[in-house]
Amino acid sequence: MFSYRHAFHAGNHADVLKHLVLVQLLRYFAQKDTPYWYIDTHAGAGAYALDGDWADKTAESGTGIARLWTRADLPAAVAEYVEEVEAFNGDEFLRSYPGSPFLAAQAMRERDRLRLFELHPTEIDVLRRNVGQLGRDVGRHTMVYAADGFEGVKALLPPPTRRGIVLIDPSYEDKRDYARVVQCLEEGLKRFATGCYAIWYPLVQRREAQQLPARLARVPARAWLDVTLTVRKPTGDGLGLHGSGMFVVNPPWLLEPALKEVMPWLTDVLAQDAGARFSLESRQA
């Protein structure tokens, strides 16, 4: 159950799509003075060394952030995402990668709040240490829970500010995660119908994965956006991640035009073979 460690995959093509979208959401929420909550149901370790032993075993950042790092032709939304990774590294060298919690922490203002869940017995300890290094200002606005985020998020909704982003990002190693994602979204919307929910999902040769977007689209919501990035053809044995998607419920209206601009470019840059493509669908309120 607890075999998944995101350090093996940090900065890969799936992280690029997920965090590009997340950075857009965070920047949109910061445009208003009203504070917001960022809630992460599966926070992981929060930050990852790209030159560490785990990352070196797969070097998956080479399929993602490393392909963007030195380019001078980044479209606006991609440039904003890369700027956040650069800020985390502090110089021109790509040594580390910020997970979703650290991207949120970098965007957080004085009255915003972070709420992070992690159940993995090793990752939670690393997450706590990493959050502790963010400094007192961020730390006093952040709560870390050693708990099942699918269940724990319910007690936090709606946030007191009535503004919030909920990232639902399990590993999907347990196939029950697919059903739990749908249930988590349904229950979240009952408590906090105006919240912004961002669900990452893998593109793999598994029936549950292929059915998930349609199941999410049937959940009663005012509006949603679904963007996918496929970087290669599926393998003959059906193994491996050939792409990923982000399904955003109650997306800001600026998100879709931003993705329409960048996704053709991003697909070309991250393509691994002729099977690379993207999709972008939405339903408006």
Catalytic residues: 169
The answer to whether the beta carbons of residues 224 and 251 sit under 8 Å apart is yes
For 105, the token pair is 């922490």
Distance of CA 18 to the CA centre of its chain: 4
For the chain, list the strands marked E by DSSP: 37-40, 47-49, 96-98, 113-117, 142-145, 164-168, 196-203, 224-230, 243-249, 277-283
The answer to whether the beta carbons of residues 77 and 227 sit under 8 Å apart is no
Q: Tokens 């919501």 sit at which residue?
A: 221
| Nearest by Cα to 23 from 194, 231, 182, 255 | 255
Max CA-CA distance within the chain? 51
Cα torsion through 39, 43, 47, 51, rounded to 10: -150
| Nearest by Cα to 115 from 192, 198, 38 | 38
